Amino acid sequence: MAADDLEWRRVHPVTPLVRGWTVLAAALVILGQQSADDSARGGGLIALLRSGLWWTVLVALALVALIGFGYAALAWRMTAYAVGEETVHMRKGVLFRQHRHARLDRLQAVDIRRPLVARFFGLCELTLEVAGGGDSGVAIGFLRDADAAELRAELLARSAGVRTPGHGTQPGTAGPGTSLPGATAPPGTAAPDAVGAPGADAPLRADGALGEGTAGDVVHPGARPASGSATRPALLEAPENLVLTVPAVRLIASLLRSSATIGLVVFLVGLVVVVSVTGRPGIALSMLPAVLGAGGYLFNRFTNEFDFRVAISADGIRLRHGLLETRAQTIPPGRVQAVGLTQGLLWRGRDWWRVQVNVAGYGEKAQTNDVLLPVGTREEALVVLSLVLPDLGVEDARALLEEGLSGDSSVGGRFTGSPRQARVLDPIAWRRNGFSVTGRALLLRRGRLNRSLDVVPHERTQSLAVVQGPWQRRLGLATFAVHSTQGPVGPVAPHLDAGDAARLLDEQARRARTARASAGPERWMELPRD
Kindly list the domain boundaries of the chain, sorted by start residue.
247-305, 388-518
Q: Give the residues across from 88 on adjacent strands.
A: 83, 102
pLDDT of residue 243: 94
Is residue 341 within 8 A of residue 362, CB to CB? The reply is no
Nearest-CA neighbor of 458 among 516, 524, 385? 516
* Cα–Cα distance for residue pair 211/217, rounded to 1 Å: 9
pLDDT of residue 43: 55
pLDDT tens by residue, 333-360: 788 899 999 999 999 999 999 999 998 7
pLDDT tens by residue, 383-431: 999 999 988 989 889 999 999 999 888 777 899 999 999 999 999 999 9
In the predicted structure, residue 165 carries a pLDDT above the cut 70: no
Question: Nearest 5 degrees, angle CA 118-CA 124-CA 125?
Answer: 120
Residue 472, Ramachandran bin (φ over 0: left; ψ between -120 and 50: alpha; else beta): alpha
Phi first, then psi: what are they for 43, rounded to 5°? -130, -165
Q: Which fold has domain 388-518?
A: PH-domain like (2.30.29)
Task: Tell me the average pLDDT across 486-515.
Answer: 93
pLDDT of residue 442: 95
DSSP 395: T
pLDDT tens by residue, 503-518: 999 999 999 999 888 7
Considering 83-92, 201-210, 226-235, the range whose residues carry the highest mean pLDDT is 83-92
In the predicted structure, residue 494 carries a pLDDT above the cut 80: yes
Between 91-95, 396-400, 479-483, the lowest mean confidence (pLDDT) is in 91-95
User: What is the amino acid identity at position 124?
Assistant: C
Q: Is residue 374 helix, strand or coil?
A: strand
Is residue 308 within 8 A of residue 246, CB to CB? The reply is yes
Between 86-95, 230-239, 365-374, the lowest mean confidence (pLDDT) is in 230-239
Nearest-CA neighbor of 80 among 139, 10, 13? 10
Average confidence score pLDDT of the chain: 79
What is the secondary structure of 125-181 as a DSSP string? EEEEEESSSTT--EEEEEEEHHHHHHHHHHHHHHHHTPPPTTSS--TTS--TT--ST
pLDDT tens by residue, 13-65: 888 888 887 777 777 777 666 665 555 455 555 665 666 666 777 787 788 88
- Classify residue 98 as exposed, middle or buried by CB count within 10 Å of its CB (0-12, 13-18, 19+): exposed
pLDDT tens by residue, 298-345: 999 999 999 999 999 888 899 999 999 999 998 887 888 999 999 999
Question: Nearest 5 degrees, angle CA 408-CA 414-CA 420?
Answer: 45
Is residue 344 within 8 A of residue 258, CB to CB? The reply is yes
| Strand pairing class (336-343; 80-83) | unpaired
Is residue 165 within 8 A of residue 217, CB to CB? The reply is no
pTM above 0.75, yes or no: yes
Task: Tell me the average pLDDT across 108-114.
Answer: 87
